[in-house]
Amino acid sequence: MSKISYLTEEGLAKLRAELEHLRTVERPACSRAIAEARDKGDLSENAEYDAAKEAQGLLELRISKLEDLVSNARIIDESKINTEQVQILNKVRINNIKTKTEHTYMLVSESEANLKEGKLSVGTPIAKALMGKRVGDVVEVQAPAGTMQFKILEISI
């Protein structure tokens, strides 16, 4: 059984758009590539055919994973998010106690994570440590470089 994935409306729309693109554009292109490679003769020594079949397998795997993700997605009602304690879809401003640097992250599902946009997956060690904590709490995170401590400065939507 697949696990439920909590997404924003925007995140679910992006996943559906990617799935539609893979089904309507990439899948037919892959089929054409296989047909062209097949037309070139002996399949036992046709590297082009083998590569096209492998690409088709990877494409079908990606489509299957996206279908599973979309079918098990639940949209989070942003109006019911509170800022008393850290939860998914909260923006959390934290201070690294050792380096005295501040960072702001929005906690999102794995499929929506993008560190360049400040979207941190709830599956990361930092997000796991922050979940359920309140403003003023200090959390410790085990990292390869050692233990890091963060103080929660603000929780917002």
| Residue ranges of E strands in the chain | 5-7, 73-75, 91-96, 101-108, 119-121, 138-143, 146-156
Same domain, 55 and 71: yes
- Indicate the helix (H) or strand (E) that contains 52: helix 47-71
Q: Is the pLDDT of residue 25 over 90?
A: yes
Tokens of 47: 């590297």
The pLDDT tens digits of the residues spanning 26-82 come to: 999 999 988 888 887 766 677 888 888 899 999 999 999 999 988 888 887 777 777
67 lies in which domain range?
5-75
Could you give the CA distance from residue 147 to residue 149 in angstroms, rounded to a whole number?
7
Question: What DSSP character marks residue 114?
Answer: B
Residue 143 is predicted with a pLDDT of: 80
Could you give the CA distance from residue 65 to residue 19 in angstroms, rounded to a whole number?
10
Same domain, 85 and 152: yes
Weakest mean pLDDT among 35-49, 86-100, 101-115:
35-49
Same domain, 58 and 127: no
Residue 2 is predicted with a pLDDT of: 59
Could you give the CA distance from residue 97 to residue 146 in angstroms, rounded to a whole number?
13
Q: How many helices (H) and strands (E) does the chain have?
A: 4, 7
Same domain, 28 and 66: yes
- Which residues, 6 or more positions from 71, have their beta carbon under 8 angstroms from its beta carbon? 2
Q: Is the pLDDT of residue 130 over 80?
A: yes
The total number of structural domains in the chain stands at 2
Give the pairing type, strands 5-7 and 146-156. Answer: unpaired
Partner residues linked to 101 by β-bridges: 96
* Of 151, 8, 9, the residue nearest 92 (C-alpha): 151
**pLDDT over 70 percentage in the chain:** 97
Same domain, 71 and 87: no
Same domain, 95 and 59: no
Residue 103 is predicted with a pLDDT of: 92
Furthest CA-CA distance within the chain: 69
Tokens of 61: 């795997």
Residue 21 is predicted with a pLDDT of: 95
Residue 34 is predicted with a pLDDT of: 87
Same domain, 122 and 145: yes
Q: Span 107-117, mean pLDDT?
A: 86
Same domain, 22 and 56: yes
CATH number at residue 35: 1.10.287.180
Q: Is the pLDDT of residue 1 over 60?
A: no
Same domain, 11 and 65: yes
What does pLDDT average to over the chain?
Answer: 87
